[in-house]
Amino acid sequence: MTDYEFFLQQRELEIKYEKKGIRRVGIVAGVCVVASTAIQVLFGALLLIPSFRLAYFQSSIFESCYIALNSILSIGLPFAIGGVYLQNKTGSEVFKLNKPNSVSLSVLALPFGFFICLVANYITSLLVSFSSEIGVNLSSPETGTPSGIPGRFAYIIAIAVVPPLVEELGMRGAVMQPLRKYGDAFAIVMSSFVFAILHGNLIQAPFAFMVGLAIGYAVCLTESLWTGVMIHFANNLYSVLTEFLVEDVPDTETQNKIYLIIVFFLLVISIIGSAGFLIIKGKKKPENHITALSASKKVAVFFLNPAMILAILIMFKVTLNYISLK
């Protein structure tokens, strides 16, 4: 065997190995999305029980507990199982709940990530407005906003605490970490796409994709999922507090003034913090591993498997429920 023939043989083995590894993660991610949807449907069926439905709509604390448990079982459970499986198969450290490699960088990643959240929110608003102009109304799931202190505390736990934990363990943990050996950029984009389709509507999905890119980038730089949890928590808490503002200040004009003041303040803080993040980061970048497969082939291998195709088709069907024509 000549050196060239040996090189070709090794190249073929590398391609086969990479395809197998990427396909495995794609299949697990697809299965987890399908399982997540199935569990959510089962949870939704509970609302058909009269006594359960009555408790859900009459007690804000019960509603928040339902939402939190739904997140844990529908997202946390399947992706935890998938993550453990991939960790055993790939040897990757999936659930990186360790101290960040740079605490200062991790802290400054918060305003950086939140700045991206504000920008993504603005872009999403433009998308919704444009869709409305052409006669397509986009909507997303809504929950009631509680008024009492116990109810609001439970609501914060259900929306701002539980989802960031379970979703980051799933997206930036179970999906992204095993893919990093094929390049951080590839892993960040693929996990962001799974994060997007998991939301199942065209208001939250584009937003989730953009924010997922920022969170994945920050997690790769700091090597800790806590960085992603922190950014995710800040975004969800901001959303919850905005809901409280709308509920507590009925006058629209006053509402808008307070909102603009808050957004301006947060924007300034996030820009300053982002500048600090970029300065401390310096030339540090996510790793770009040399792989036998091209970027387009890696993407194709990740998506072209029965589980992921089924997941996309199911989420496409779910998405249609939140689209209406004028």
Round to whole Å and give the CA distance between 225 and 97: 6
Contact by Cβ (8 Å): 66, 13: no
Domain boundaries, the chain: 8-325
pLDDT at 157 over 80: yes
Residue 3's pLDDT is: 63
Round to whole Å and give the CA distance between 223 and 98: 8
Residue 8's pLDDT is: 60
Residues contacting 20, CB < 8 A, separation 6+: none
In 3-state terms, what secondary structure has residue 137? strand
Q: At residue 210, what is the residue type? A: M
Contact by Cβ (8 Å): 175, 194: yes
Round to whole Å and give the CA distance between 165 and 80: 11
pLDDT at 313 over 70: yes
pLDDT interval class at 45 (50, 70, 90): very high
Question: Helical H runs in 171-251?
Answer: 176-179, 184-199, 204-222, 225-248
Q: What backbone phi and psi angles, to 5 degrees, belong to 181?
A: -65, -15
Q: What backbone phi and psi angles, to 5 degrees, belong to 92?
A: -75, 145
Round to whole Å and give the CA distance between 188 and 218: 10
Task: Tell me the pLDDT tens digit for each residue of 56-73.
Answer: 988 999 999 999 999 999
Round to whole Å and give the CA distance between 312 and 246: 34
